[in-house]
Structure formats: C-alpha cells, structure tokens
Amino acid sequence: MTARSGEDAAGVRGAAIGALPFVVALLFAGLLILLVGENPLEALRLILDGSLGSPDKLSDTIMVWVPLTLAAAGLVVTFAAGLWNIGVEGQIVLGAIGAALIAREVTAPSWILVPLTLLFGILFGVVWALLAGVLKTKGKVNEIFGGLGLDFVATGLTLYLIIGPWAREGIASTSGTEPFPEDALLPAVGDTRFSPLAVALAILAVIGVWLLLRGTRFGLKLKAVGRNPKSAFLLGIPTNRYILGAFAICGGLAGLAGAIQATGFHQKLVPSVSGGYGFLGILVVLLAGFRAIWVAPISAFFAIVMVGSISLTLRLDIDSAIGGVLTGVLVLFALIGSGLRDYRQRKRAMEAPPPESEAEPGGDAEPADAREATN
C-alpha cells in the first residue's frame, strides 16, 4: 500500500468515525418515536419539510444557522486558548443590546444605520467578553464561574431594559421592545427573514477563524497557550495578552450574532434574544473536534432539527422537545466516541517500544526536550 492510499484510507476511517454519532443519535431518536407509536420516517420527513419545505421555512433555518455558526466560530478560538467561555451566551445578549441601542436612538439612512448596529453589537460583545477575561487574568476567577455570572447579569439587564427604559408605551409586557425602525433592520430577500449580508458575515467568520488558527503566528502562539500556559510563558509568550485576545475575538463574533438576532430575526429586543445559541455553540464545537472547518455543516444540522422539530408538535402531536433529545444524544455519543479514541491512543502510546537513542552508550547526548527548549 502506498503512502497516498494509506492517507486516503485514514481519511475515510476518520470521516466514518465522525459520522457515527449522528447515525447512532438518529437511530436512538427513531426508537423514541416508535415507542410513542409514530413512524420515524414520517417524523424525519416532517422535520425536513418544517425546516426546508418553503422559502419562509428555509429562510428561518438559515437565520438560525447564522448566529449559531458565529458563536461556534468564536468558541473555536477560546477553546484553542484552553478556555471554556461559558459567558458566550451573555456576550450574544450584550451584542443584541448594543444593536438595539443604535436602532432605537439613532436616526440615519439604512446604509449607515445597519453597519452601525452591527458594529455596536460587536463592540458590546467584546467588552462583555473582556470582563470575563479580566476576571480570569487579574482576579484569578475561573472563566466558567465568571462567565456564568456575567450571563445572569446580561439576562437581568435585558429584562430591565424591556420593562423599564425601553418599555412599550402603555403596555406592561416582557414580550419585547417596540419593533425597530425599518432602516435599522438587516436587508432581507422579499418578505422572508433571509439576509444575504448575515450569511456572508457568518461564512467570512468561519474562514477567518480557520485562517487565524492555521496560518498565523498569533494562532500558533494561541494554541501554545492553550496546550501549556506555563511553558508558553517561560518561552516568552505573554499568556494573559493572548487569553484576552481570544476572549475579545469570541466576544466580537458572539456580539455580532446577537446583533443579527435582534435586527434580522426578532427585529426587536426580546428576553430570549440569545436563543440558547451560546450553549449550543459549545456542543457544536465539541462535535466539530475543535476544528473551524466543521462548524458550519454541524450548525446546519442543529438548525434544521431546531426549526423542523416544531412540525412534530403540529402534525404528529409529539413534543418538539424531541429535537433537544436528539441533539443531547448526539453530543453524548460524540463525547463517548472521543473518549474511546483518546483511550485507544494512550494505550497504543504506552504499548509502543521506546525510540532508540541516537547517542553512543555512555555519551553525553543532550535530551531532545532540552534541545528544543534551547532552539
């Protein structure tokens, strides 16, 4: 077997292993549907029809895919730095608040107002992410706890604005603010929510993150910080600066996702503006194996399930929560598979014979690690 054919075979095996969790999760969901007395194939047809069956449904699915992809792309960066940025949910919310501030308070033509809402969404997301970063680097607060705390603050701030300063006139309601002016909304195709600008931004974000981590010095040093921050610091990498940079990039993309949610999907600020896409983005990145290139297709799968599962309630009287069950089972099996692969790799490494030393017996050969450290 040639080296080329060996690489091709390894690629096929890797793709098959990566697809296995999806197959198992679909089979498990099909079994659950059988247990409630319905046809799994009919349920699958309804999910596809409910998410892709008409221009309106397809546009809604795409506009769910966009913020989920943006959040997941940002999380790839923080994961590369060894950070669990749980605060991404709050960063999406702050991005929506920043966009809502401009949409409500600024009067300008659409070609000025739309970029301004997106820019302020990015800015608010960056600031909120840097708060978590400063808590970690200066206050030594674990990013999980700091991020969760900031998530609650962001949610509370949203509710305060909706029922307080931005409340609808004469109405005591938490359903949301007044709809934004037409000039502040993302340009859409026809009467649908589909915005080519939002899709282009999501695609550019994925490509940008992929290039950042694959072909730049910043990405290389960021991954070094994620692998071993103490060693990276000893080698002269300013670890805190790179950690803050990772938070800022992720916060900016999450803030952009929130701005698109507010001005492109809901067209106003609502309490649940984040849609849970921050937490779901973490699952997407785990399934993608922390690789940016797989974020877009996996996010598309989740978007189809989330939008299409509503049809199960309308047509088969099955709770739409089956979509959540499907995604949860998918992640569970993916994590189990990842754990088994890691176990097999460690086992093979332990069983492999140690490499022969190139030094002469009794010589003063310098250890490889020491040579690398001095180079």
- Residue-wise pLDDT tens digits, 162-205: 998 998 887 767 888 999 999 999 999 988 899 999 999 999 99
Please indicate, yes or no, if residue 281 is contained in any of the structural domains.
Answer: yes
235-255 residue pLDDT tens? 889 999 999 999 999 999 999
The neighbour count for residue 349, using CB atoms within 10 Å, is 8
Percent over 70 (pLDDT), the chain: 83
- Among 76, 81, 374, 373, CA closest to 228: 81
Domain span including residue 139: 21-342
Q: Which two tokens stand for residue 262?
A: 């507010």
**Of the given ranges (36-40, 286-290, 370-374), which has the lowest mean pLDDT?**
370-374
* Domains contained in the chain, number: 1
Please indicate, yes or no, if residue 169 is contained in any of the structural domains.
Answer: yes
**Mean pLDDT along residues 60-82:** 96
Buried/exposed 154-168: b ≥16 CB within 10 Å, e otherwise:
bbeebeebbeeebbe
Predicted confidence at residue 209, as pLDDT, reads: 97
- Give the Cα separation of 129 and 88 in Å (integer): 7
**Mean pLDDT along residues 305-315:** 78
State yes or no: pLDDT of 29 exceeds 80.
Answer: no
- Among 19, 89, 88, CA closest to 330: 19
Please indicate, yes or no, if residue 321 is contained in any of the structural domains.
Answer: yes
For residue 127, name the pLDDT band (cuts at 50, 70, 90): very high
- Give the Cα separation of 45 and 314 in Å (integer): 13
Enumerate long-range contacts of 325-330, CB under 8 Å, 24 or more apart. 325/29, 325/32, 326/25, 326/26, 326/28, 326/29, 327/25, 327/280, 327/283, 327/302, 329/24, 329/25, 329/28, 329/29, 330/21, 330/22, 330/25, 330/287
Please indicate, yes or no, if residue 371 is contained in any of the structural domains.
Answer: no
State yes or no: pLDDT of 11 exceeds 70.
Answer: no
Percent over 90 (pLDDT), the chain: 56
For residue 226, name the pLDDT band (cuts at 50, 70, 90): very high
- Give the Cα separation of 222 and 212 in Å (integer): 10
Predicted confidence at residue 45, as pLDDT, reads: 86
- Give the Cα separation of 156 and 128 in Å (integer): 14
* Average of per-residue pLDDT values in the chain: 84
Predicted confidence at residue 19, as pLDDT, reads: 66
Predicted confidence at residue 14, as pLDDT, reads: 55
Q: What letter would DSSP give residue 294?
A: G
Residues 6+ apart with CB under 8 A from 311: 46, 47, 49, 50
- Among 75, 85, 81, 78, CA closest to 223: 81
Q: How many CA atoms lie within 13 A of 115 on its CB side?
A: 3
Predicted confidence at residue 170, as pLDDT, reads: 74
- Among 118, 112, 93, 117, CA closest to 270: 93
Whole-Å CA distances, 67 to 6, 205, 274, 296, 337:
38, 11, 9, 11, 27
For residue 275, name the pLDDT band (cuts at 50, 70, 90): confident
Whole-Å CA distances, 179 to 7, 23, 62, 264, 374:
54, 42, 21, 11, 61
**Of the given ranges (20-29, 39-48, 130-139, 202-211), which has the lowest mean pLDDT?**
20-29
Please indicate, yes or no, if residue 350 is contained in any of the structural domains.
Answer: no
Please indicate, yes or no, if residue 138 is contained in any of the structural domains.
Answer: yes
State the chain's maximal CA–CA distance in angstroms. 89
Predicted confidence at residue 13, as pLDDT, reads: 61
**Of the given ranges (92-96, 123-127, 339-343), which has the lowest mean pLDDT?**
339-343
| Length, in residues, of the chain | 375
Residues 6+ apart with CB under 8 A from 24: 329, 333
Taking a C-beta distance cutoff of 8 angstroms, is the pair 327, 58 a contact? Answer: no
State yes or no: pLDDT of 28 exceeds 80.
Answer: no
Q: Is the pTM of this model over 0.95?
A: no
Please indicate, yes or no, if residue 357 is contained in any of the structural domains.
Answer: no
User: Looking at residue 68, which CATH number applies to its domain?
Assistant: 1.10.3470
**Mean pLDDT along residues 33-45:** 79
8 phi-psi bin (left φ>0, alpha ψ -120 to 50, beta other): alpha
**Mean pLDDT along residues 120-130:** 97
Please indicate, yes or no, if residue 369 is contained in any of the structural domains.
Answer: no
